[in-house]
């Protein structure tokens, strides 16, 4: 005779929230990040360094737009300020690249905070247009003849990539990769704690219900300007790291397209997401290259199509994942949890039915 209760017992399912599984996933992720520069060429190592740099910049923009509701189309300007500050401090003044990156981040915080003060009177599309103007003006200011002695004018500045300290057996590109990863780890940790704190909850309250937040005693002006400053500091640090990885800065490196690419990155990764920015960084670093490869495959007649291919891929992605990578992942997780709850309820019903029959 078949034991109905035993036959209908549910198959054990691994709990995705278990500490052991989470620790294992983190360990695998860390191993992949650490081992990556030893498994790929110097060129690809530099590419992944750029991915980490873009992730830092996108995280800063997401703090402003995703968590605080302020739209910026000009964060390429803060990227340029951080990059040029690091280049000038290291090339012209002989300051070490570590302090130069920190000073560049501080300068960007001050610039972002100062820009945020008049921007308090603006919101929505008006703020977006103001930051758009900032993105347009910055490259032209960097080409201004009076600043040529410091900025190098249209020719830009060349930087020497730093060697690994303490005689570590690393190439210059590998060392810069680990430097970017280290900075990203600190900044992601700081952003996570910020969002989960009282300050983060106030930022979100201002985004969702600004009038109610002000009625509750939240200083919306202070939080908005400070968030703008912190966001600019993140982007400036990313710009400083980028200047070291590329080894060169010029005004044309920080054009309007950079600012628009950062906006694309946070949309693709998902607004109000800490880790979704990694997906956005991968997109803006690699998808243009893949678009070039596709146009090469199509032949000589398609040489002018890379950006058309890029646009088509972006449109398809927005149709497939309108809430970005993070929103899609959350939807899938909710769907899986719903299915698991449903299968558990069915199993319990079968066990109860089997128990009644055996009784």
pLDDT surpasses 80 at 201:
yes
Residue scoring higher pLDDT (209 or 20): 209
pTM of the model: 0.89
Tens of pLDDT along 250-307? Answer: 999 999 999 999 999 999 999 999 999 999 999 999 998 888 888 877 777 767 788 8
Tens of pLDDT along 57-103? Answer: 999 999 999 999 999 999 999 999 999 999 999 999 999 999 999 99
Alpha helices in 172-275 (DSSP H): 172-195, 198-208, 210-215, 220-246, 256-269
pLDDT surpasses 50 at 6:
no
Cα separation, 261 vs 284, in Å, equals 7
DSSP 45-59: HHHHHHHHHHHHHHH
Q: What is the mean pLDDT of the chain?
A: 88
- What's the pLDDT score for residue 2? 45
With cut-offs at 50, 70 and 90, classify the pLDDT of residue 1.
very low
pLDDT surpasses 80 at 16:
no
Cα separation, 322 vs 315, in Å, equals 10
Tens of pLDDT along 94-144? Answer: 999 999 999 999 999 999 999 988 888 888 888 899 999 999 999 999 999
Instruction: Give the 3-state secondary structure of residue 158.
Output: strand
- What's the pLDDT score for residue 353? 66
Residue 123 burial (C-beta neighbours within 10 Å; 0-12, 13-18, 19+): middle
Contact 241, 83 (CB under 8 A): no
Tens of pLDDT along 331-344? Answer: 888 888 778 777 66
Section 215-233 average pLDDT = 94
């Amino acid at each position: 005779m078949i034991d109905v209760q035993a036959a209908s017992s549910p198959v054990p399912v691994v709990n995705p929230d278990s500490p052991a599984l989470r620790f294992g996933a983190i360990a695998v992720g860390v191993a992949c990040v650490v081992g990556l520069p030893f498994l790929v060429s110097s060129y690809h190592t530099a590419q992944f360094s750029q991915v980490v740099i873009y992730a830092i910049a996108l995280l800063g923009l997401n703090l402003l737009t995703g968590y605080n509701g302020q739209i910026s189309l000009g964060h390429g300007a803060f990227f340029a300020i951080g990059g040029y500050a690091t280049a000038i401090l290291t090339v012209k003044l002989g300051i070490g690249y570590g302090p130069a990156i920190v000073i560049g981040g501080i300068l960007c915080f001050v610039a972002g905070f100062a820009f945020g003060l008049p921007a308090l009177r603006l919101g929505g599309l008006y703020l977006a247009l103001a930051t758009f103007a900032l993105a347009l003006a910055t490259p032209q200011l960097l080409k201004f003849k009076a600043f040529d002695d410091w900025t190098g004018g249209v020719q830009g500045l060349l930087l020497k990539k730093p060697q690994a300290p303490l005689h570590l057996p690393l190439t210059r590109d590998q060392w810069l990769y680990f430097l970017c990863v280290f900075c990203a780890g600190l900044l992601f940790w700081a952003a996570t704690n910020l969002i989960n704190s009282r300050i983060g909850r106030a930022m979100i309250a201002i985004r969702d219900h600004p009038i109610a937040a002000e009625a509750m005693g939240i200083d919306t002006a202070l939080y908005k300007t400070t968030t703008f400053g912190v966001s600019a500091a993140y982007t400036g640090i990313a710009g400083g790291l980028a200047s070291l990885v590329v080894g060169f800065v010029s005004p044309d490196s920080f054009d309007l397209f950079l600012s628009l690419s950062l906006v694309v990155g946070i949309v693709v990764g998902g607004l109000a997401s800490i880790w979704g920015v990694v997906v956005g960084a991968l997109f803006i670093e690699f998808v243009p290259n893949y678009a070039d490869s596709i146009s090469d495959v199509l032949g000589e007649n398609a040489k002018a199509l890379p950006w058309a291919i890029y646009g088509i891929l972006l449109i398809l992605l927005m149709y497939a994942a309108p809430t970005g990578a993070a929103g899609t992942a959350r939807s899938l997780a909710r769907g899986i949890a719903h299915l698991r709850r449903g299968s558990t309820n069915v199993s319990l019903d079968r066990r109860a039915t089997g128990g009644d029959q055996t009784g």
